[in-house]
Amino acid sequence: MALDIYLFPCLSDNYGVLVHDPVSGRTASIDAPEASAVLGALKEKGWTLSDIFTTHHHVDHVQGNLEVKAATGATITGPADEADKIPGIDKTVRDGDVIDFAGHPVKIIATPGHTLGHIVYYFENDAVAFVADTLFALGCGRVFEGTLDQMYESVSKVGALPAETQLYVGHEYTESNLRFCLTVDPTNEALIARGGEIKALRAAGKPTIPTNVAIERATNPYLRADTPELRASMNLPNGTPAEVFAAIRLAKDVFK
């Protein structure tokens, strides 16, 4: 049976997400950016939390861990590679592990770059992935701990998931990402069309999330680093996709 997924904004621009299996009642929170928001969402839905699935150690993803765990008794799962930085962690996972969520297999995909231990939770049979700060709608995470090459590989792993895979990302950055994308990929008709949809959603106060792999492949410049258009616009006519990716990411870092 299909999962119920509930997305809610918290902090200034983070997203919280609850994943609920209606058969067993099992419910996971993807990260715990803000305890009051997570607990409020659970109350609103009438769901009982069983798990917190941590994607990476940044404070805006884990600061609710202890309070939510104390209130619900949830088990906290997170990346082995940065377990020492994740408050209250109970279980660690690594790349390639498959954990069970009420009969739904969840594949762990390591996506180092934003942080060295960052992981993605991919619910393979449900065609949904929780990618946090690896890939954003029209963007990708800043490279704080890893290398640009590592980030390119990580972003490409998400881009290689099946086209229909729904992507839940960690932040609502889409509208500001759009401004940058239009400067590096100005003739992309799919991007221009998506821009109109994004503006309409935000003007109505609605999230631009979830996105999906097909939409990102068509419009996200970090997944288009292997195209002639992006090579040309980054002035790297003979650049490898990893070099073009790095140039796009570095240009975004200083974009105003």
Residues belonging to the binding site for Zn(2+) are 56, 58, 60-61, 114, 133, 171
If the CB atoms of residues 133 and 185 are measured against Zn ion, the closer one turns out to be: 133
Q: Using the structure block, give the residue that is written with the tokens 């997400």.
A: 17
Could you give the 3-state DSSP secondary structure of residue 192? helix
- In angstroms, give the least distance from the CB of 164 to Zn ion: 26
If the CB atoms of residues 58 and 157 are measured against Zn ion, the closer one turns out to be: 58
If the CB atoms of residues 115 and 188 are measured against Zn ion, the closer one turns out to be: 115
Region binding Zn ion by CB under 5 A among candidate stretches 25-33, 79-87, 129-137, 150-158? 129-137
Residues 6+ apart with CB under 8 A from 123: 3, 19, 101, 104, 105, 106, 107, 129
Cα angle at 204 between 185 and 58, to 5 degrees? 65
- In whole angstroms, give the CA distance from residue 112 to residue 134: 8
* DSSP assigned state of 2: P
Region binding Zn ion by CB under 5 A among candidate stretches 34-42, 65-73, 102-110, 127-135? 127-135
Tell which residue, 145, 147, 148, 104, has the closest CA to residue 128.
104
- Identified binder of Zn ion from the candidate list 20, 57, 58, 171, rule CB under 5 A: 58
- In angstroms, give the least distance from the CB of 56 to Zn ion: 6
Check residue 126 for interaction with Zn ion (CB under 5 A).
Answer: no
- In angstroms, give the least distance from the CB of 238 to Zn ion: 33
- In whole angstroms, give the CA distance from residue 195 to residue 174: 9
- Identified binder of Zn ion from the candidate list 51, 81, 126, 133, rule CB under 5 A: 133
* Interacting residues with Zn ion (CB under 5 A): 58, 133
